[in-house]
Chains A and B, each alone.
Chain A
Amino acid sequence: MRFTPHTEEDRREMLRQIGASSVEELFSDLPQSVRLDRSLKLPEGLSESEVARLLSDLAARDLDMGQYVSFLGAGAYDRYIPSAVGELLRRSEFYTAYTPYQPEISQGTLQAIFEFQSLIAALTGLDIAQASLYDGATAVAEAAMLAWGQTGRERIVVARSVDPQYRAVLRTYAHGRGLEVLELPLRDGRAGAEDIAGAAEGAACVIVQHPNFFGLLEDVDSLVKATHEKGALYIAVADPISLAVLRPPGAYGADVAVGEGQGLGIAASFGGPYLGFMAVRQEYLRRLPGRIVGETADKDGKRGYVLTFQTREQHIRREKATSNICTNQGLMALAATIYTTLLGPDGLRQAAALSVEGAHRLGDGIGKVQGAELAFSGPYAAEVALRSRASVGDVQGAMLKAGMLGPLDLERFYPELPGHMLLSVTEKRTSEEIGKLLDVLQGVEA
């Protein structure tokens, strides 16, 4: 296929206008020594029908969550996405546009981001949100950089109950700036406020996920208190769906809330593209990374939206910018905005509530399975951590045989948790599916 429209006659006329004899002549300034003197070694180009076939054959080699019932979660969820989300996202005025540098012809993108910022602020209970970051993990890392910029302190404290992917990315970013990362140990699967006093001495921030990676509720009030006593910022990592039913970060005293927005109408898509979000208290506005949209007016007083507070950003501030982020996840933020608008408060609450209910149905059932038990004792939301006599591999194999995906092997990220695994439940999982999973667990333990 080709998407270059010129005929040979077009090319001749254009070259004549330019005053060149050939296209090659336009490359004459490329020194011989750096030219590729052969063709690229790539498969021959294909027609659209051949490409379509090639890609569907490749895709058919994967098992998907349409055919298989997924109990995998741990940061990426199989949630129900209303048809209207996909339909609207394919409006090509949205997806073929660039970053809205020309506001007069980008009011669609700009107003959508303004609405996204508003929804994230409402969900997190904080004062301001920005336009999006790459994903939950980089949002955590950017939040730590914000705290470092704000406090000048070079220690970052993170609870070990935070998603291991997020902690890994945090370490990568922190190494660049030369910051130290200290982990709060697991205490029955959670962070302990008693560990903060020592760890947070001279720390820029304490980062805690709630519900945490294992689905457990953290004791956020005492964690916030202990953090603020040390003069550090409290960074809450939150799942946006859970925020429909749980007290939001703004209400329990967090300074910054970040998280992964994939649950808001974005496909699991083998790990991306997803959506990082960040909301902060008013005083940190000028430390936010990335784009911010604000409302203003034209000379006739007509309301409009623009990119604003750009003096924080790389294209103006260069090496003094709050972050290097430029392209972010605009279309994913649009998906989240459409999804949240469609579901509304009742729908979002119902998605969260059905997930919590299903997880507890599963958790209660596991209590009755011989050889398996819940890994931790605290209250939990929509993920179930368990340990079992049977190996994780055996459980995975038995589930796969029964047409199900899961669980996640926790030992992979937590050597201190051998034989532990994580199952996740969303609003899509029915009582029958949960019952069937319990039967499989019973069978594999027997």
Chain B
Amino acid sequence: MKTIFEEHEAGRGTAYLPSRKVDLGAYLPAGEIREELPLPELSEVQAVRHFTGLSRRNYGVDNGFYPLGSCTMKYNPKINEDTARLAGFAQVHPYQPEATVQGALQLMWELQRDLGEITGMDAVSLQPAAGAHGELTGILIVRGYHESRGDAKRTQVIVPDSAHGTNPATAAMAGFEVVHVPSDERGGVDVEALRQLASEKTAALMLTNPNTLGVFDERIAEIAEIIHAAGGLLYYDGANLNAVLGHSRPGDMGFDIVHLNLHKTFSTPHGGGGPGAGPVGVKAHLKDFLPMPIVTMENGQFHLSYAAPHSIGQMRSFYGNFGVLVRAYTYIRALGGAGLREVADDAVLNANYVLSLIKDHFELPFDRIPKHEFVVAPPEDLVRQKGVKTLDIAKRLLDYDFHPPTVYFPLIVHEAMMIEPTETETKETLKAFADTLCQIVDEGRENPDYVKTAPHNTVVGRLDEARAVKQPRLLERLGG
């Protein structure tokens, strides 16, 4: 497909604004006025066809099954798209007086309260823009807490070797040294190793539970005890909350801080890479450290409160990705508490169902009851003798119109494939996917080259990633 720069033809543009001539020289110093503006010109029809064409070269949840592990690619209800666009939400300026935005503030206040109930936390900030931004907020709260106690020796954040890359990156951004704790043979935190690592230097432990292997860390109470006894805080990465909604809450597991991914658990669309939202909840003793502002209620009136003495400050402009918050609020109101618990029930049921259908065809690094996702690897003979790897299976899935699972993560499993079906899929879809996976294993044994050169039915074949780095072409300019 052509780019907008290749479609350019001077004079094709559409006038969307009044065409009145403005003499900029009357207002701005001559030397400041820009002369050249090398942007493409397309007619509206060209532009609409261009972007429609691009959309057809994309694959979303609405196109088909998307079992991308740790990403919770559930269906995004359409009502959410309508509510977020209501004029009273979308056409509201963040600096409007409080009295003119009571609806928006009430929505935020109720969402703070509801997310607190869902996670078992006492106070919630809706400000963070995404999961990693929530992590940074949480770890800065850790820093603020220890600093407020004059506890300067806590320089380390402990992160499991199965953690998302954002965890160690976040800890470093907040100025901490990252210490890795290994996993045990059952896929959980190696508690004995943790005991050795926990010390007066420990600022926090960052944990996902169920973890990235999809298994629930049964020794969570013991883990919390070790960290708390050492004087550290326990941070919950909410990427996998979908598995335990209504069953177990991070607050009840002993966590002090939690971030949520509204674009995972609470059905807001991922947008091809955002916007997300990463609210952060804390226990009462950390409430004063939350970023400002928080929405408060007094006599039925809602306010933006900046009165937090120990606040870590502000994490972004204004109050959060409000449009995303409206979608999540809509979802929570539609489902209610019972509906949310059913989400976890079926997310776990679906993962176990798919696993039961493929487990004889794949390697299982940990043979346990998974929660909402699980990790497998291709059979050894396929990898060793035929040279067919996880990447090849993923690419072959594209030919069958499935989005592949997350691959090569978590790092601790060789040739990992991490499968998260989510609760919104039918039994027939799950079965078809499982059958296809098994069929690809057979194909790999019979005709390995065909699988290794997949995909065969997509608009482009496997792309040369090395070339993208060696001969970088990161943008296009008008006229080439």
Contacts and interface: CB of A to CB of B under 8 A. Distances in A.
B458 A105 contact: yes
A350 B19 contact: yes
Given A34-B220, A34-B252, A92-B60, A41 B47 contact: no
Interface string A152-182: 0000000000010110110111011110000
A151 interface: no
Contacts of A314: 132, 165-166, 168-169
Given A272-B129, A341-B47, A302 B39 contact: no
A415 interface: no
Contact of A302 (B55, B461, B473): B461
Contact of A134 (B89, B316, B462, B478): B316
Contacts of B18: 350, 354, 427
A94 B55 contact: yes
6 contacts: A54-B333, A56-B83, A91-B55, A97-B270, A168-B314, A326-B132
A381 B57 CA distance: 41
A438 to B, nearest CB: 17
A323 B178 CA distance: 15
Contacts of B169: 314, 317-319, 321, 323-324
B16 A345 contact: no
Given A128-B474, A332-B271, 10 more contacts: A40-B337, A42-B336, A60-B88, A65-B92, A95-B60, A99-B272, A104-B460, A117-B474, A245-B33, A302-B461
Interface in A19-55: 19-20, 23, 26-31, 33-36, 39-46, 48, 51-52, 54-55
Contacts of B55: 88, 91, 93-94, 108
Contacts of B247: 27, 30, 35-36
B105 to A, nearest CB: 9
A273 B102 contact: no
Given A17-B353, A129-B475, A344-B13, A300 B90 contact: no
B324 interface: yes
Contacts of B478: 122
- Residue of B14, B93, B315, B423 with highest tally of chain A CB at under 10 A: B93
Contacts of B20: 354
Interface string A52-76: 1011111111111111101010111
B13 A405 contact: no
A377 interface: no
A292 B216 CA distance: 35
Interface string A292-323: 11111111101111101100011111111101
Contacts of B40: 341, 344
Interface string B125-165: 00001111101100110010000000000000000000011
B74 interface: yes
Contacts of A248: 34
A45 B60 contact: no
B82 interface: yes
Contacts of A97: 58-61, 270-272
B464 to A, nearest CB: 5
A175 B146 CA distance: 14
Interface residues of A, number: 198
Interface in A307-363: 308-309, 313-321, 323-332, 334, 337-338, 340-351, 353-354, 356-357, 360
A321 B20 CA distance: 49
Contacts of B244: 30
Contact of A23 (B44, B246, B349, B473): B349
A103 B460 contact: yes
Interface stretch (A189-197, A199-207, A262-270): A262-270
Contacts of B47: 84, 338, 341-342
B439 interface: no
Nearest to A344: B13
B385 interface: no
A246 interface: yes
Contacts of A51: 79, 83, 330, 333-334
Given A55-B330, A342-B47, A93 B63 contact: yes
Interface residues of B, number: 201
- Residue of B82, B178, B272 with highest tally of chain A CB at under 10 A: B272
Nearest to B401: A105
Contact of B272 (A46, A331, A379): A331
Contacts of B356: 17-19
B438 interface: no
B274 A135 contact: no
Contact of B89 (A20, A59, A173): A59
B106 A169 contact: no
B90 A267 contact: yes
Interface stretch (B191-199, B280-288, B338-346): B338-346
Contacts of B129: 134-135, 138, 272-273, 329
A70 B93 contact: yes
B413 to A, nearest CB: 15
B276 interface: yes
B18 to A, nearest CB: 7
B89 A175 contact: no
A62 B92 contact: yes
Contacts of A15: 349
A246 B28 contact: yes
Contact of B462 (A104, A119, A326): A104
A80 to B, nearest CB: 6
A114 B272 CA distance: 13
Contacts of B140: 172, 175-176
A78 interface: yes
A332 B28 CA distance: 30
A297 B394 CA distance: 19
A401 interface: no
A388 interface: no
Contacts of A102: 59, 394, 398, 403-404
A131 interface: yes
A278 interface: no
B268 to A, nearest CB: 10
B91 A247 contact: no
A299 B88 CA distance: 51
A338 B51 contact: yes
A267 B51 CA distance: 19
B218 A330 contact: no
Given A36-B249, A292-B474, A268 B91 contact: yes
Contact of B13 (A94, A315, A347): A347
A438 B312 CA distance: 41
- Residue of A34, A84, A114, A354 with highest tally of chain B CB at under 10 A: A34
Contact of B275 (A46, A67, A272): A272
Given A96-B270, A338-B47, A345-B37, A272 B17 contact: no
Interface stretch (B65-73, B227-235, B375-383, B441-449): B65-73
Interface stretch (A6-14, A223-231, A367-375): A6-14
Given A106-B59, A308-B474, A346-B13, A65 B165 contact: no
A72 B96 contact: yes
Contacts of A271: 94, 317-320, 322
A344 B86 CA distance: 28
B307 interface: no
A69 B107 CA distance: 24
B179 to A, nearest CB: 10
A217 B32 contact: yes
Given A166-B317, A272-B317, A324 B170 contact: yes
Given A298-B461, A356-B27, A176 B89 contact: no
B274 A132 contact: yes
B321 A273 contact: yes
Contacts of A251: 34
A228 B319 CA distance: 35
